[in-house]
Structure 1
Amino acid sequence: RERVFIAPETTIKRLGALLKRMDAVVTNDGAPKHIAVAVKTPTVTVHGPTDYRAWGPSANPAHRAVYSSEPCAPCEKMKCPYEAVRCMEGISPERVYKELRGILK
């Protein structure tokens, strides 16, 4: 089984079927995350500008949120006013991987 899969352009229905077959999904706070939660696939969601408290997981340990501690986050803006997107740069791959390992145990 592949460890990483990037889906080609598809329909919402097919995306749901695909996400349901996954062991876990690492995604941003967008439609694929919400569909994965709906089909009960564990998720690690990377929240940069979005507010994990509003859009993050409930108390369900199968869904984890990784977010920035930058003072500008969460700003909820579509475009970052800074040259470097600090809220995303402050989230390391190691943090995301640690959360992923936690839900795959």
Structure 2
Amino acid sequence: MSDLKSKTCKPCAPGTPPLSRPQAVTLLAQLPGWSLNDTASEIVRTFKFKNYYETMAFVNALAWVAHREDHHPDIEVGYNRCHVRFSTHSIKGLSENDCVCAAKINALLGE
């Protein structure tokens, strides 16, 4: 397996199929804290912080990563938490890009 956080996101060509459940599970093994939803169409993780300032600092760093990779998650922000969901809307499921971004976000926290 290659190191996901060293990769960059690539546009999905038209007709690219989403990852199968076994492919997603294999990549998920490299992503501590992330889980696969029931339909294997997205990966999710909730990050917890001490306060609002730390939460927002994380959200801003996450936004920078998403901008650099041109691959954007759905996020929900609360006082001391950030819920992140990745899927590739153009293929209606998961792509390696989702896992690459999740790995880079984990790296923000030293994971």
TM-score (norm 1): 0.29
Question: Per residue, is there more helix in 1 or in 2?
Answer: 2
Q: Which has the higher contact order (CA 8 A, sep 6+)?
A: 2
Higher alpha-carbon Rg = 1
TM-score (norm 2): 0.28
